Structure 1
Amino acid sequence: MMKTMVTRQQSTLSSDLQGINQLTADGITGVVDLVESMHQRITSLGGTLNTGDLNRTSGITGFVYRRIRQTTHLITGGLGLALRAVPPWQSAVDNSPTRQQWLSILNGVMGDHLQATGNPLALPMSLQYQKQTLTAQQAALASSSESGHPLLLLHGLCMNDWLWRRHGHDHGQALHQDAQLTPIYVRYNSGLAVYQNGQQLAALLKQFHADLPADKQLQVLCHSMGGLVMRSAMHVAEQAGDDWPERLGKVVFLGTPHQGAVLEKTGNLIDYLLTINPYTAPFAKLGHVRSHGIKNLRHGTITADHQTIQLPPGVDGYALAASTPVEGHQWHQKWIGDGLVSVDSALGGHRHPEREVLFRASHKYTFEQVSHMGLLSDQRVYQTLRKIFSNEPLHQC
């Protein structure tokens, strides 16, 4: 095991409390904005009596709302200064699975906001090996000291590296034992736009491959959003002329919404319906609170300009889908699939052929009676993964 781990600013109780305090201020201000917007729309009969700003009141009413905002910032700002000044709050916090879980959920829901506002609760992208944070160079060195090849694992929305373990099973650890692969987990802020995480991952993997011996080949296993981030990173590398995608082994996608996820499409529709009526339009802001990462799941967006991007030439990609069919309802598999991602989307299919993400027919697999999260623990799925990474013959499921 590596003895010299990456040095980085350690999370403290103070930084956690400062982050929560900052979110409290943002939350109160957001509620005040919503109430004032509703107040203005009601008093102006949906704007018919007032052609001005429908989100702000005027006169004494407007003064009251402004004072509430100012008071909120004054109180939370003072508390933030106090937290930074008191030494007992500077003790390091326990990097427990529970803390990582709520941080990952928070980042998935509003991680773009956390980063944009400089909130200390925003998660940086990192590589995790044996529950330790490593630089790209250290991860490459750790891989070199092990037999077999390195295996990179990318989690999905609101998740982290700890959550690959489900019902006592972890694909990474099992493949380490059965296929001699060295699992290296990526932890990232899943609330950022997919292309932003793709840029960060591309930079990490460029550094990683610079120190990876030529006889080692990076294998990749992605779950859900993690697959979009990996595809984005490969595209970034192609655009930059970097050659590390050519050195990849197999890239396997588990339930990746290549063509989008049903729930986010539903959320976008609700946003639209709310904006139609001037009285309900302020509530659409609540829907917009969800992160760019979540919004990217509507169409499986991996670039800033919403292009349809294929896997780089030579990349050996595999798409694994799941379905939880309801007896007598054929539409379930087509639209709902594993509960979050349809089978067609997970296999890259699209009603317009020019927008399909292409996989070889022999590299596409569907597992029935498996949920989206069940892809992380189902033994049929694992045996297929083991055969893929071990180059064993396998059959379609």
Structure 2
Amino acid sequence: MSKNDKPKPKPHYAPALQRGLHEVSHQVEAMHRAIAGKTFGALKQVPVVAQPAALIESIHDAVSTGIHAAVRLGNRGLLNLAGRAESALASDAPPGRRESGVRAAINGVFGDHVAANGEALATPMQFFERGKTAPVAIEHLKLRHHRVCIFLHGLACDEHCWTPDDESDQPDYGARVLADFGYTPLYLRYNTGLPIADNAAAFAEQMESLVAARPDIEEFLLIGHSMGGLVARSAFWQAAGAEWLTRVRMLICLGSPQLGSPLERLGMITNRVLDSFDVTAPIGAIARRRSAGIRDLHDGIGSDEGQDPPDIELRFLGATIAEDSDSTLGKLVGDGLVTPDSALAERTRANVARAQLGGLGHMAMLHDARVWQQIRTWIGEGYVPAA
């Protein structure tokens, strides 16, 4: 084995969980101290019990410190054992759908932290073919008509989210774009906990490498769900003038929070409230540990941050859980995570078309007959069949 062929470290959940539990334990201890401090502080203001209260407080602090230290020690020992067992069971085989989903969720919430720690658990950005567990070998990719459709998943998901269950009659968009239009589907997997701008830069590099390896690809269609649409659009802004951009025909965004998500804004407000009180500040510290990717959803990518390429067709699809998408409830709640004004980004200056559906939730947009019909309509407009 050469120096360049060193085996890659295997992802382990135990070390990441150990660090997380260690931090949570410290924050719980801080909250415990804050609550006890207020109680003992009040007692020490009473002359008769001031001295006994101070003595009891010192004993309490010593005991509670010991208890929390013992809990952390116990967690460390237990998770060290789990780590050794995990290493013993580790395999060189690619992770299956279930394990990949667990990693995607962890990366969505803490992806920037696991990446900063250099853990193998951090998800690298890679392309996959439909139903395959190993990354695609681009040079061997079979193309039907020199056209490729790339699917970009949303927060805390991976490429499997685009594939409906085998027993389901829901539409598989990847299979449909291949059958109806001859686009070979490729699925991007990436660490959704990283900043959107970082993922966009990495995606632009991946696209440039893809074009260099396969110059026979004549046209790209991009379909992004939620955060995936933001990553693609941000990549356009960062890669102005790049060769791969000249081959992108259209970007379809499904429920992408172009102008931000109200849930993350609520999260920021909640954080400020928690930080305002000694007792709840430790909870606020835990909440602030959510990933940069999640925090980026506070504002989305806005409408004035960059310039959308005028030759690329942008198609924004929004949804509301209310049957009447124009109702007050529909406008206020949207698809449960993204409101229509954000998904449709009315202020965007570009080659844009928009559509909105009622009675549809955020995740349901991944496998819905009406969504596919709208995608199909957009692709079909101006579509030139291969010779």
Residue 164 to residue 308, structure 1, CA distance change in 2 (3 Å): same
Partner of 1:267: 267
Deviation at 1:237, TM superposition (A): 1.3
Give the structure 1 partner of residue 115 of structure 2: 115
TM-score computed with the length of structure 1 as normaliser: 0.79
Structure 2 residue matching 1:250: 3-state secondary structure: strand
Distance 2:185 2:101 in 1: 20
Residue matched to 1:178: 180
Mapped pair 1:152 → 2:142: no
CA deviation vs aligned residue, 1:350-391 (integer Å, no higher than 9, x gap): xxxxxx333446x11112222222222222221221232233
What residue number does 1:379 align with?
A: 369
Q: 2:325·2:356 contact (CA, 8 Å) conserved in 1?
A: no
Supply the AA of the counterpart residue of 1:308.
Answer: E
Q: Which residues of structure 2 form unaligned runs of 5+?
A: 43-60
Q: 1:61 to 1:253 in 2, by over 3 A?
A: same
Identity %: 27
Asked if the contact 2:22/2:72 (under 8 Å) is kept, the reply is no
Q: Displacement, 1:307?
A: 6.7
1:1-397 equivalences under 5 Å are 15-16=10-11, 19-42=12-35, 44-45=37-38, 60=62, 64=66, 68=70, 71=73, 75=77, 79=81, 82=84, 88-92=88-92, 95-130=95-130, 131-134=132-135, 138-139=137-138, 142=141, 145-166=143-164, 167=168, 168-213=170-215, 216-238=218-240, 241-301=241-301, 308-325=305-322, 330-349=327-346, 356-360=347-351, 363-391=353-381
Give the aligned residue type for 2:316. Answer: A
User: Which stretches in structure 1 are left out of the alignment for 5+ residues?
Assistant: 1-6, 50-58, 350-355
**AA in 1 matched with 2:161:** L
* Count of paired positions: 358
Contact kept, 8 Å, 1:126 with 1:133, in 2: the verdict is no
Normalised to the residue count of structure 2, the TM-score between the two structures is 0.80
Task: Tell me if structure 2 keeps the 8 A contact 1:310–1:357.
Answer: no
Partner SS state of residue 128, structure 2: strand
Question: Aligned partners of 2:355, 2:325: CA distance in 1, in Å?
Answer: 23
- Post-superposition Cα deviations, 1:154-207, rounded to whole Å, max 9, x if no partner, equal 011111111102344211111111111100000111111111211211110111
Farther-moved stretch of structure 1 (188-197 vs 73-82) = 73-82
Residue 69 to residue 120, structure 1, CA distance change in 2 (3 Å): farther
The 1:75/1:271 distance shift into structure 2, 3 A limit, reads same
Q: Distance in 2 between matches of 1:186 and 1:328?
A: 31
Asked whether the 8 Å contact 1:154–1:186 carries over to 2, the reply is: yes
Q: Aligned-pair RMSD on alpha carbons?
A: 3.4
CA deviation string 1:306-335 (max 9, x = no partner): 972232232221111112226799332222
| Residues in 1 aligned to 2:98 and 2:36: alpha-carbon distance in whole angstroms | 46
